[in-house]
A and B are shown apart, each in its own frame.
Chain A
Amino acid sequence: GAVVSQHPSRVICKSGTSVKIECRSLDFQATTMFWYRQFPKQSLMLMATSNEGSKATYEQGVEKDKFLINHASLTLSTLTVTSAHPEDSSFYICSASSGGGGPEAFFGQGTRLTVV
C-alpha cells in the first residue's frame, strides 16, 4: 500500500509555544488529507479536511486559528498547533487519500504531542 510519513513522532513543547507536524505522501499525490486527534483510550476524532491549494474545512468545535492547516502541495500537509496548552496534549494522526473515490485511506505513524 501507499506510504504516508508523519513527522515528528513525538514532541514535547512548553505551554504557549507553537508546534508544527508534517504529513507527507511518499509515493502518491494526495489531493485530500485528513487530520485526526486521539485522546487516551478514545477513538479518532476528525479535526479537519484539507484539500491541496484551498483552505481547510474544520469540524465543529475545532478552533481554526489554533490548529493551522496548510496543504500547499500534493504531497505535504502541515498542522501547526499555535499557543499550545496542556489540554492540547494528544495523539495526532494524519490520513491521505489520492482522491478519485478510491477505497483506501492511508495513515501516518502519528505524533504524540505533550505540552508541559
Chain B
Amino acid sequence: ELKVEQNPLFLSMQEGKNYTIYCNYSTTSDRLYWYRQDPGKSLESLFVLLSNGAVKQEGRLMASLDTKARLSTLHITAAVHDLSATYFCATQQAGTALIFGKGTTLSVSS
C-alpha cells in the first residue's frame, strides 16, 4: 500500500527565513507532486517531479526528488506572508489515483 508522510504538519515561519518540508513515500514511484491549497479552495499545482535528482524552482519555492531515498523536499527561501497556505505532496503509481500526505500548514509572520 502506497503511503505518504509529510513533516512537519505545521510550520510557523518568520519572514525572511528559510524552511524545508519533507515528504517520504513508502513504495517505488516515478512521480511526485506538490500542491498548494488556500482555505476553501481546491489544489494549485506547484511542481511535478518525474525522475531521480529532479529539481524544480518557482520563485521562493524549490522542490527536489530522491527516488532512492523515497524522499522529496520543498524548500522555502526567505519566507513571505503570501506563502501562508497548506502544502501537500502526493505520489502515484502509473494510472492510479494520487495518494496525498497529510499536508503542511504554513503560517508566516513578520
Chain A residues with CB under 8 Å of chain B are 1, 6, 32, 34, 41-44, 46, 49, 93, 95, 97, 99, 101, 103-105, 107-110, 112
Query: Which B residue's beta carbon lies closest to that of A57?
Result: B97
| Cross-chain pairs A/B with CB under 8 angstroms, 6 sampled | A42-B103, A44-B98, A95-B98, A101-B94, A104-B48, A109-B41
- Whether A95 pairs with B97 at a CB distance below 8 angstroms is yes
Give the B interface residue count (CB, 8 A): 22
Q: How many Å lie between the Cα of A41 and that of B10 in the bound state? A: 11
Q: How many Å lie between the Cα of A32 and that of B99 in the bound state? A: 15
Query: Which A residue's beta carbon lies closest to that of B43?
Result: A107
- Whether A105 pairs with B42 at a CB distance below 8 angstroms is no
Q: How many Å lie between the Cα of A108 and that of B44 in the bound state? A: 10
Chain B residues with CB under 8 Å of chain A are 31, 33, 40-43, 45, 48, 50, 88, 92, 94-103, 105
Chain A facing B: main interface SS:
loop
Q: How many Å lie between the Cα of A94 and that of B12 in the bound state? A: 30
Q: Which residues of B contact A41 (CB under 8 A)?
A: 105
Query: Which A residue's beta carbon lies closest to that of B44?
Result: A107
- Whether A43 pairs with B88 at a CB distance below 8 angstroms is yes
